[in-house]
Amino acid sequence: MSPTPPHSYRRLRDEADRRRREVAESALPKIHIGMATCGIAAGAQETRTAFEEALAEAGAQALIRAVGCCGHCYAEPVVVIDHPQSGFPPIFYPEVNAGKARMLAKLFIKEGDPRLEHILGATVANELIPSVMEFPRFSLEHRLIMQRCGRIDPEDIYDYIAEGGYAALADALARRPEDIIGAVTRSGLRGRGGAGFPTGRKWALAREAADPEKYVICNADEGDPGAYMDRTLLESNPHQVIEGMVIGAHAVGAGRGIIYVRAEYPLAVRILTRAVEHAREFGLLGRGILGSALDFDIEVFQGSGAFVCGEETALIRSIEGFRGMPVHRPPYPAVAGLGGRPTLINNVKTLASVPVILQDGVDAFRAVGTAQSPGTAVFSVVGSVVHPGLVEVPMGTSLRTLIFDICGGVPRKKKFKAVQIGGPSGGYLSEAHLDTPIDFDSLAQAGAMMGSGGMVVMDEDACLVDVSRFFLDFTQKESCGKCTFCRIGTRHLLEILERLTRGEGREGDLEMLQELSEDVRSGSLCGLGKTAPNPVLTSLRYFREDYEAHVREKRCPGKMCRPLIAYYIDLAKCARGCNACEGCCPVDAVFITHDRKRGIDQAKCVKCGECVVACPPEYDAVRRVSPPHLAPIVERPPAEEKDA
């Protein structure tokens, strides 16, 4: 008796459906709490405990389920309550802290009052409460990869199967590998790691390599500070990635898989490890997967924190137990990778796209996005926006739609200044580029790049010289040291930028930055060095006036570079009786004279900005100026008391 893959799958699916029905039919209220890393950071664990305690106190019963992250970071901790007996549809509650949780447990779960003032909306269309699906933050998104994130329990494999998970695999196992590669090629899927290499071509290369032993590696070494979609996906829906890997293994003929995930993501590591074990128990990994002839197993490898290991050849060196230094390509890993064997290496989102393509069909996938870049792109939009978080949009969506319509634009009536796309390897785009469609080619043309998908929005108070210095500081530290231009060039770039932010810029520095950037770009082997100067080059191109103000006037237009600013207290506005600024100052720089003039001791001030926050808004007396000599001087009276 050897069951075929569709049969084995049917059995799993029936069981999953039965469990799903059981939950759906139960009259118990269901409380879904988003408990990925970001939710826990925002206090989801306390929320959960509060629900449990309050339910026990009130003598009410409910089913509490930990789900993944839905990407709405601004609303964390997110709770969705489905209380069928109350007559209300499932409701999405934002920012549920412990207190709110206790209140909801008592008033909604027990007494049936949903406390409408605390809701964001219903999760499905209905006649009582507006559905969140009509809000731009939801309706303008198009979720293919993150469809199930925040809806299923990542630690329950049945939950994924009930949503149609692993159906694409069962289907694929019954098809010839060439057909699957053909479908992936026709879908036009491009590597979601940032470079946008056609996935189908990579798979075909690995398939053609004549070697009985091949590997599939999932690249989850998400090192860009500011991007966290891979982590979210692995924490919220690990099985979709595993399914993509098994399909890849069947297509190229691999027997071993490795998921290379950052050790800095302990929760992702834990959830993935469990998911792999579950998949093995269910015959979705191991020998004879779903009764087919495919033998394939996955191990989870923890990366140890080197940005350069996101580069595929460096990643392979790291798995082999060496320093993660990139090597020359060709030969590409698809021909000679791990241990010299053909290795298919894809990003998390690329692999997660594969089951979607096979299940919905190539045409459905191509219908989303642009002709050259079909499908969707996932961005983590952070910085000065009203609704930060993870956003999945069709390729080709304009930056304006993404930043202003979906994420709510810049808060506090500030002006938009720039958006930084792609982290340390990406670039800045200015207001003039807001109508640029987001896809691999348009972004590259404008000087930015898709990269990791990290997106930081900056308002008028941002200093691009300082942010460029920040990125260079990062890439300079992360340079593996193999190529001279990357190792020493980035160091010199950083030194010049540091000089500028200290107000010691010289004539000729900008030309030097430009020239050196181009040299680093052409003299480096891997993506890290080739793209490291991008932040400098694009900011020089689009925001040259920022640099010039630093060099010529020793002034920081964004008032960010601390050596170039000073704080002072506007005596015309200061209440003089209140002590807020003095009390909050960490270095005792704020003082008061005998005639009750308040001043800031510039020699002591560390320019942390605490006094600005502390000053009551009705006075709003603390001012920030650049260059520092604009601050009026108030003499500090000699210190009189000297107590310990």
Residue ranges that bind another protein, judged by CB under 8 A: 37-38, 40-42, 73-74, 76, 223-228, 231, 263-265, 301-302, 304-307, 318-324, 380, 382-384, 388-389, 420, 423, 454, 456, 458, 462, 467, 470-471, 474, 480, 584, 586-587, 606-610, 613-614
Separation between Cα atoms, residue 42 and residue 24, nearest integer Å: 29
Cβ at position 514, least distance to another protein in Å? 23
Beta bridge partner(s), residue 590: 600
Cβ at position 304, least distance to another protein in Å? 4
Q: How many CB atoms lie within 10 A of CB 607?
A: 18
Cβ at position 132, least distance to another protein in Å? 18
**Burial level of 471, CB count in 10 A (0-12/13-18/19+)?**
buried
Dihedral class, residue 150 (left if φ above 0, else alpha if ψ from -120 to 50, else beta)? left
Q: How many CB atoms lie within 10 A of CB 343?
A: 29
Cβ at position 323, least distance to another protein in Å? 4
Beta bridge partner(s), residue 569: 622
Cβ distance to another protein smaller for residue 376 or 384 = 384
**What does 300-319 look like in DSSP terms, one character per residue?**
EEEE-S-GGGGSHHHHHHHH
Cβ distance to another protein smaller for residue 40 or 181 = 40
Cβ at position 227, least distance to another protein in Å? 8
Cβ distance to another protein smaller for residue 240 or 384 = 384
Cβ at position 258, least distance to another protein in Å? 10
Output DSSP code: residue 336.
S
Q: How many CB atoms lie within 10 A of CB 323?
A: 13
Beta bridge partner(s), residue 393: 377
Cβ distance to another protein smaller for residue 121 or 422 = 422
Q: How far, CA to CA in Å, does 399 sit from each of 127, 439, 462?
A: 34, 10, 19
Omega of the bond leading into 627 within 30 degrees of 0 (cis): yes
**Single-letter code of the amino acid located at 590:** V
Q: Which two tokens stand for residue 614?
A: 């502390």
Cβ at position 365, least distance to another protein in Å? 28
Tally the residues of the chain. 644
Q: How many CB atoms lie within 10 A of CB 534?
A: 27
Cβ at position 637, least distance to another protein in Å? 24
Cβ distance to another protein smaller for residue 123 or 380 = 380
Cβ at position 583, least distance to another protein in Å? 9
Separation between Cα atoms, residue 509 and residue 501, nearest integer Å: 12
Cβ distance to another protein smaller for residue 155 or 264 = 264
Cβ distance to another protein smaller for residue 231 or 530 = 231
Q: Which two tokens stand for residue 348?
A: 């998390």
Cβ distance to another protein smaller for residue 43 or 84 = 43
Cβ distance to another protein smaller for residue 87 or 321 = 321
Cβ distance to another protein smaller for residue 18 or 477 = 477
Handedness of CA 265, 268, 272, 273 (dihedral sign): positive
Please report where in the chains the tokens 């870049």 appear, as a residue: 373
Cβ at position 340, least distance to another protein in Å? 13
**What does 317-331 look like in DSSP terms, one character per residue?**
HHHTTS-------SS
